[in-house]
Amino acid sequence: MKLIEFRLETKDNTTVYESAEQHVKESSCIAIVPRAEIIEKDFVAAIFIKYEKNGEKLNIIIMSYDAESLMTWLKEHHPDVYELVPSFRMDKFVFLANKMVSGSYLTYRALPTECPLEYEFGIDPEADDFVPEKETVEESIKEIVEKGFYTSLRIYPDTPVGNCVFYGTDFQSLLDHVITD
């Protein structure tokens, strides 16, 4: 089995959607854990996973009212996929997500062969967009290419359009960097 993409996201209804109930209704999730609590708390956390198993590409999309229950559901229902997800301290992600105005997105992506790296990291990434920061962007990208994947953390601390994105090769260093910065 191979992990292709993992994204854990949280969204607050103040800027992203009209209501959690409407957002859940319009989603294409295969599982919603539990729908009533998402609507009651008016908050959505979601996991999107793409993985390859025996040459077949598969997806898992689930929603909940918090990030912890998503990871618990994944561990209980798809333990083999859960093992593919890079480890991180959930409490640090939750702490950060609770401070964001619009949303937070923790992502793992295997490097696609069909797209140039400029597409993955934007047109002009800066050296300080990568964690840990190297002397140059080229050094950071070389490390990512050698590993064959990257992780990213996108947060919206001010407005729905004001965001920060950091790239690296593990989740925990991204979370630690943003929390201490």
pLDDT of residue 100: 78
For residue 35, the model assigns a pLDDT of 75
Nearest to 63 by CA among 97, 89, 28: 28
Q: Give 181's contacts (C-beta < 8 A, 6+ positions apart).
A: none
Q: Cα–Cα distance between 7 and 12 in angstroms, integer? A: 16
CB neighbours (10 Å) of residue 27? 15
- Largest separation between any pair of C-alpha atoms in the chain: 49
Helix (H, G, I), strand (E, B) or coil at 83: coil
- Rounded CA separation 141/22 (Å): 39
Residues lower than pLDDT 50 in the chain: none
pLDDT attached to residue 12: 60
